[in-house]
Structure 1
């Protein structure tokens, strides 16, 4: 299996982390999106959206979208709750992550880290919605150890990717004690060094 990804992308790292945790063999192929490497005819044949991550399986089939990829790779593992309702709650958080978290936390990080913007130049609405996402997560984690059930699931892996780097997007995590506790536990479970 080949993973086409950008190692600076939390969406790509989710796939790597799941493979590493589950000992799924893969070959990582670093893609430079800034150089248009997802816009080549060869890449677009594999993924017409021209996005990473994209996984190409040994039989030639390809799969895109980070949460769809990890959902497929972990389908028979402990990262997917056995209870159907708890698994659906996991999926609820996976969808929420892409719609109500990543567009704000990750986009602000991209603008500061990769575009060189100042915090004062960020779209105030994106900042507001990023804080709303962190507030919701912290509120949930005050009463629940993880996001779906009583064990780490793909919801935790997915939400960790950009939450652990939220400070790089101007979101200080000091006021989010439950989120900080959860980040530490999830990083340890995945064998990741603490984010700096």
Structure 2
């Protein structure tokens, strides 16, 4: 749910796995984003479709995203099939190597902080609120939710902060919360005003 209104439901009849992610960073200009996507059920040939519910869904200050992990088989709305031809054909020119060099990282780190006051509040079940914010050392905050049909009774929830260097180097970051939560659990992340 977003701000108390239904945004989407991902049901187990439609996917073998799904992922939801809320993320934001100091540089902006957008405050935060929500992505919800999944892998459709495997066909007889072993292939599956990439489905999208929200990607990217921009969040502003005051927005609250609430997650409810419940029994349910039907998606509402149905996930949209990813269509690569719908992508913008003209991408903005970015003068960065792939993978980024150390010089590229320094350049990216030197951008102005447009979201210097970015703060989230995070709460799971009836627990207390925890405030989370990026800083000059770890500029990126992320809530990552993961489910798959191999262990349908649990949902992985990970709240973390990472630096650009940790993201580029795939070395992890600072885990603030990491648990496998059972059915019946709920949690929320809000962008603080």
State TM-score, norm by structure 2: 0.24
Higher helix proportion, which one?
1
Which structure is higher in RCO with an 8 Å CA cutoff and minimum separation 6? 2
Q: Under a length normalisation based on structure 1, what TM-score does the superposition of the two structures give? A: 0.24
Larger Rg: 2
